[in-house]
Amino acid sequence: MSDAKVQIKNLYKIFGRHPARVLPLVKKGLSKPDLLDQHNHVLGLQDVSLDIPEKKIQVVMGLSGSGKSTLIRHINRLIEPTDGQILIDGQDVLGMNDADLREVRRRKTSMVFQKFGLLPHRKVKENVGYGLEIQGVAEGEIATRAQHWIDRVGLTGYEDHYPGQLSGGMQQRVGLARALATDSEILLMDEAFSALDPLIRYDMQSILLELQEELHKTIIFITHDLDEALRLGDNIAILRDGAMVQKGTAQDIVLKPADDYIADFTKDINRGRVIRLDALAAGTAPSDAPVLEGKAVLEDALPAFVKAPAQVIGVKMPDGGVGQVTLAQVVEALRGDH
């Protein structure tokens, strides 16, 4: 992909005393259970490849132990791979010396952790400005930029509070502000909202989406929650036992599950809130059909079908054309038959 900001190529991670020695066995097909039973090594990632587009939200999801957190920690080399490549803007991260790698961590990437990762002895404004301090930014500018992001995440008035005085949701806002303050191009978010109560979690998702509308960061977001993945992700990749099972848009995942594992994942979601009209559109709409935006989800579009002639809607497509969707297609998609 020409617009890929981050490229992960054939990445393997094996945990154990002699990972390089057992790597050829894994490449020949040795399973994760057999690797553990026969060689006492754990397969963390198996031949994972993923192109992550610039200025989009790439979600990587999977259950506990799937390898998703291991994967994200390879991008800034918090974990060293057993084999494979990771490129940022075409530059091989794994070939960087210590000085170049420090620059990547200081200026190119920022990370938001599940457990917040705040410095308990520092006030909110000092936590938010910490990354700028590491970058060597002047003290006055640190204060200005930190205050800007404190305001943006809705923490105005809490600048002089310590993390322990804040709720979990407020602490995670501090973590997000700290990551954004450094103006890094890539935001790594590892289960960033998983520790929060559902309503606060939804609120944090909304804040992230609002900020992304303006900032257009490349965001790599790790989650085990499908609803969160479908709400946030421009693209979604699903891991299972360290291997990539499926990757694509939310529409791809819901409408065309790669296997029974993915189908089981998606069976209980509200399809009407996920599937968009442009995922179903084909052909050319009749001239008398009302026209809706392709990004409209089926739930919002249903009232228009009731009033439309012959229950057919025109759909604005990305290429400028107008396709059509019938009510029968919508019903099939909602039932899972499409």
The model's pLDDT over 299-322, given as tens digits with 9 standing for 90+, comes to: 999 999 988 888 999 999 888 889
CA-closest candidate to residue 329, choices 310, 265, 264: 310
Would you state the pLDDT for residue 116? 64
- CATH, domain range 57-79+91-269: 3.40.50.300
Q: Where along the chain do the CATH 3.10.580.10 domains lie?
A: 273-335
Paired tokens of 34: 């057999």
Task: Give the sheet arrangement for strand 312-316, strand by strand.
Answer: 291-293, 312-316, 322-326
Would you state the pLDDT for residue 269? 87
Count Cβ neighbours within 10 Å for each residue of 42-74 and write b for 16 or more, e otherwise. Answer: ebbbbebebbbbbebbbbbbbeeebbbbbbbbb
Question: What pTM, to 2 d.p., does this model score?
Answer: 0.88
Would you state the pLDDT for residue 111? 85
- CATH, domain range 273-335: 3.10.580.10
Q: Where along the chain do the CATH 3.40.50.300 domains lie?
A: 57-79+91-269
Low pLDDT (below 50) residues in the chain: 1, 338
Write the single-letter amino acid at 219.
Answer: I
Would you state the pLDDT for residue 268? 84
Would you state the pLDDT for residue 217? 94
Paired tokens of 13: 């991670």
Write the single-letter amino acid at 279.
Answer: A
Q: Helix/strand/coil (H, E, C) string of the chain? A: CCCEEEEEEEEEEEECCCHHHHHHHHHCCCCHHHHHHHHCCEEEEEEEEEEEECCCEEEEECCCCCCHHHHHHHHCCCCCCCEEEEEECCEEHHHCCHHHHHHHHHHHEEEEECCCCCCCCCCHHHHHCHHHHHHCCCHHHHHHHHHHHHHHCCCCCCCCCCHHHCCHHHHHHHHHHHHHHCCCCEEEEECCCCCCCHHHHHHHHHHHHHHHHHHCCEEEEEECCHHHHHHHCCEEEEEECCEEEEEECHHHHHHCCCCHHHHHHHCCCCHHHCCEHHHCCECCCCCCCCEEECCCEHHHHHHHHHHCHHHEEEEECCCCCEEEEEHHHHHHHHHCCC
Would you state the pLDDT for residue 1? 44
Would you state the pLDDT for residue 70? 94
